[in-house]
Structure 1
């Protein structure tokens, strides 16, 4: 007789998180919160619960996301278990977050990324692109960072890092032990995190920001996002390479590589190359043909499935938890806005006394700080809905500015092995120490955020993006 499988015991952190979450949820429901009506109190209970569960990870991040949607339906929608006003949001508004157009955009991006791995496009591209950078160790690191950032613009940071380490492991063996190997191992997660900011499909915080902006009536095209983010990405990428060279890679160190590409040329592989190339081209030329990037992403899914290039098993392997996590953030933002909770929270502070620039600095610092200790997605989910509320009440503060700044700042949190999966993958090689990762991540994060909050908004304004 087969033994019954026991559920793993809760860790101390998880147990504390569940207890604190329960307390945070109950308090606004049993206490009279000044200047907040019952609908706002219920939404405050959901919001506080989400904060505690996302920070402590007492339950999986995606579980918190879907719990947020369920509680919003049961507490503040027209299907609530408690009395609600006649103008309460329809329950379908919260469920629709699971099929938000931004989710569809990411669905297309994920399927193309998985197809790149299935047909070995990622490794073959890496092998071809690294050839001009061989010889000098510093030049090789630059090449690997450029390739990693390029792939990370269209693939998940985690998948890109895993792919690149398959390429990097032989290179690590060709370098002396100690600092040079640590520098090369750090270069991959740094480039993956930085590269992800370059496109809307590069990382979940970008999707969360786009979803919040779309809900507020601000449409940012695929190309617009790239115009806003790629200059910062390139500056931080080159600065990070220079920092890694100074700290880890001595000048004059040589490395020889034998990288060969082996392209798949069967019917499905060729079809995938064509569909993926056409999709990326269509994303980048949205202003010319008028098709939304979300629609293009969905058409890519249709084309890949209809041509049998990808199938049901490939859909099953997609990062559905990430998609639902983004949906939870979108639903949280909807609930915070529709119940007036955003106005109440903003009323707790004299934000107007700070001025637009100060608010951007504070929010950028919050995004960077929180994303170092909790997931980038969770930090974005918590901060972007509040930031969007701020944008409606402070003179000179553009919604696009604050949302994009927060999304990009959250992607710069990379100082600890727990900060982001690419960091964990690099740490698992045994070549990187926590102090080295912390020093590198702190310098890049702070310098990048300073550039982001002071340099980018004026540039966006000059380019007519705001």
Structure 2
């Protein structure tokens, strides 16, 4: 009987958590509302934080719907006015992310991301080890600019098709591969796991010679050892795509939502701080991303391909062109030459990157003026979000084909003169834009703003002041391990939305530079390699089959440790000149827990 009850409760666990958490936590605001009214707003805000934390962790309702809770409970419980809460859902950082998503949609719309990925694969060759490197380089670069989920969803079927062609080539060792296109291969999802494992040889039982015609018709013999090797290569290929997507997103401010949450919370909690812009984040995070990606490739290739490189490269063996390279080349050739639309998107993309990097050259001191292209505008008015929306707006206006106007019109063009469609149109944006991420970011910002305005942050700062004797690097390591572990069972947006405001007050309470805790924690939220539920890229490659949870845990555990080790090295080296982590800044000082 008891077992059946627990089984029923587990089946309805979302409904149970939905009702149980608010009811179980409600004595907190009720007691202080009656016994200590001056402490009511703090406890009411804590009550909302508890509810949102559990709802986000267990996905009781969609994550974006949970993000709307502050719009309901903050005004109802007297934490903040509705107008003040609403402003957090389209702040400057949300606009930056929204514009970045529009540029990413344009890249996907013209298939530029596919061209980049296939071109990288053509450069690395067709051997498994170098194919893994090519997939990781292409995936990491794309995930810096477009969503990790979209990147993984595109690269995974390409990887499956390339592996299928690679194994098909190995089954025909006696045939010389001349490099012609294989017209029968399509980039569909191909499950290598379900390939026929073994066949009995049709060789003559009495020593009869096998004619060439019989050799062509005989089925392929795949030994148990060979089948095991192929499964291992398939696992490595799928995991390298997922891990590269997670790692690549850490390099840019817009690469993944946790990065933006760190930037926005820095401005909310420490309004007098220098903040975090695209350039400073990139100069700190990109070197660590490259190192982590290279170590991930070494680790995955050594486990799933082997340590020997003989025959894998031009230096150690003879490099040959095979069927796997043919399928990549065929897919690339099908894209045709670079179109006018692709060239236009490349131009706007490069323009946006330049606008981000050269908006404010912080290492040049011009007094009240910003040393960048914003020098010509009112100081403090133009941000990265302004540059992003400028380019995003231009994508709707810039033509997707050469305009048919006067001298620009070709002689063979018999259509009526008129404007051509822009690079982007609203139906495309409406369909491909992940709107829920914008709400999710807004909910995190609203949650943190309530924590600050209610006084909960000041109370947390006083409690954390008791930890002031711990070394900063030790605290940073503990924080990053905790965030990375929490992200294995919850989304990285959830982890950063909950932890970053708390870490900001912890830094203030123990008199440590807030950058020292907040920036590494935001990056650590993307280091989730051990479980399929940790990130969408993990879930996508796991759904392709052939990968067990034990495979992810075994491979991901060392990946987590390696990534955190690289992160610790980066924050203690690059963090000094970029964020000045060795000093406690005056803008972080709090009157309730003064450090001066």
- TM value normalised by structure 1: 0.90
**Corresponding residue for 1:6?**
none
Map 1:275-286 → 2, pairs under 5 A: 275-286=348-359
| 8 A contact 2:41–2:79 mirrored in 1 | no
**Corresponding residue for 1:149?**
140
- The secondary structure found in structure 2 opposite 1:76 is coil
**Corresponding residue for 2:427?**
313
1:242 to 292, 295, 298: 298
Which whole-Å CA distance do the structure 2 matches of 1:276 and 1:342 have between them?
Answer: 39
Q: Does 1:399 align with 2:399?
A: no
Shift in alpha-carbon separation, 1:30–1:275, aligned structure 2, 3 A = same
- 1:338 shift after superposition: 1.1
2:345 to 272, 280, 289: 272
Q: Would you say how many aligned residue pairs link Structure 1 and Structure 2?
A: 446
Which whole-Å CA distance do the structure 2 matches of 1:244 and 1:112 have between them?
Answer: 32
Greater CA drift, 13-22 or 99-108? 13-22
- The secondary structure found in structure 2 opposite 1:432 is coil
Shift in alpha-carbon separation, 1:146–1:306, aligned structure 2, 3 A = same
Which whole-Å CA distance do the structure 2 matches of 1:279 and 1:69 have between them?
Answer: 33
**Corresponding residue for 1:5?**
none
Provide structure 2 residue ranges, at least 5 long, that are not aligned to the other structure: 1-8, 168-228, 313-321, 361-371, 375-381, 399-421, 582-596
**Corresponding residue for 2:45?**
43
**Corresponding residue for 1:3?**
none
Q: Does 1:368 align with 2:359?
A: no
| 8 A contact 1:380–1:407 mirrored in 2 | yes
| 8 A contact 1:279–1:296 mirrored in 2 | yes
Greater CA drift, 415-424 or 31-40? 31-40
1:389 to 488, 496, 505: 505
Which whole-Å CA distance do the structure 1 matches of 2:311 and 2:300 have between them?
Answer: 14
- The secondary structure found in structure 1 opposite 2:510 is coil
Which whole-Å CA distance do the structure 1 matches of 2:76 and 2:336 have between them?
Answer: 52
| 8 A contact 1:43–1:76 mirrored in 2 | no
Which whole-Å CA distance do the structure 1 matches of 2:338 and 2:287 have between them?
Answer: 35
| 8 A contact 2:102–2:429 mirrored in 1 | yes
- The secondary structure found in structure 2 opposite 1:257 is helix
**Corresponding residue for 2:23?**
23
Which whole-Å CA distance do the structure 1 matches of 2:24 and 2:485 have between them?
Answer: 22
- 1:25 shift after superposition: 4.3
Which whole-Å CA distance do the structure 2 matches of 1:305 and 1:161 have between them?
Answer: 27
**Corresponding residue for 2:407?**
none
**Corresponding residue for 2:262?**
209
Instruction: State the Cα deviation string for residues 108-142 of structure 1 (Å, max 9, x = none).
Output: 11111121111100111111122221133211211
**Corresponding residue for 1:135?**
126
Provide structure 1 residue ranges, at least 5 long, that are not aligned to the other structure: 1-8, 80-90
| 8 A contact 1:24–1:45 mirrored in 2 | no
Greater CA drift, 281-290 or 224-233? 281-290
Which whole-Å CA distance do the structure 1 matches of 2:16 and 2:467 have between them?
Answer: 33
Shift in alpha-carbon separation, 1:264–1:61, aligned structure 2, 3 A = farther
Which whole-Å CA distance do the structure 1 matches of 2:247 and 2:99 have between them?
Answer: 21
- 1:185 shift after superposition: 0.7
**Once superposed, what is the RMSD of the aligned Cα atoms?**
2.2
- 1:168 shift after superposition: 1.1
Instruction: State the Cα deviation string for residues 156-188 of structure 1 (Å, max 9, x = none).
Output: 110111111132121221245211110011000
Greater CA drift, 135-144 or 115-124? 135-144
**Corresponding residue for 1:82?**
none
Structure having the higher Rg: 2
| 8 A contact 2:461–2:508 mirrored in 1 | no
| 8 A contact 1:137–1:253 mirrored in 2 | no
Q: Does 1:120 align with 2:193?
A: no
| 8 A contact 1:416–1:423 mirrored in 2 | yes
2:576 to 440, 461, 465: 461
**Corresponding residue for 2:391?**
300
1:187 to 221, 240, 248: 240
Greater CA drift, 163-172 or 422-431? 163-172
Which whole-Å CA distance do the structure 2 matches of 1:112 and 1:206 have between them?
Answer: 18
**Corresponding residue for 1:434?**
549
Shift in alpha-carbon separation, 1:465–1:117, aligned structure 2, 3 A = farther
Which whole-Å CA distance do the structure 1 matches of 2:384 and 2:568 have between them?
Answer: 27
Instruction: State the Cα deviation string for residues 185-236 of structure 1 (Å, max 9, x = none).
Output: 1000000000000001110100111110122233212111011101111111
Shift in alpha-carbon separation, 1:51–1:303, aligned structure 2, 3 A = same
- 1:274 shift after superposition: 2.1
- 1:77 shift after superposition: 4.8
Shift in alpha-carbon separation, 1:438–1:405, aligned structure 2, 3 A = same
Which whole-Å CA distance do the structure 2 matches of 1:20 and 1:230 have between them?
Answer: 43
Which whole-Å CA distance do the structure 2 matches of 1:447 and 1:341 have between them?
Answer: 35
Which whole-Å CA distance do the structure 1 matches of 2:61 and 2:80 have between them?
Answer: 28
Which whole-Å CA distance do the structure 2 matches of 1:263 and 1:166 have between them?
Answer: 20
Shift in alpha-carbon separation, 1:24–1:274, aligned structure 2, 3 A = farther
Shift in alpha-carbon separation, 1:104–1:465, aligned structure 2, 3 A = farther
**Corresponding residue for 1:96?**
87
Which whole-Å CA distance do the structure 2 matches of 1:464 and 1:366 have between them?
Answer: 22
**Corresponding residue for 2:185?**
none
1:445 to 547, 550, 560: 560
Which whole-Å CA distance do the structure 2 matches of 1:117 and 1:315 have between them?
Answer: 11
Which whole-Å CA distance do the structure 1 matches of 2:29 and 2:117 have between them?
Answer: 54
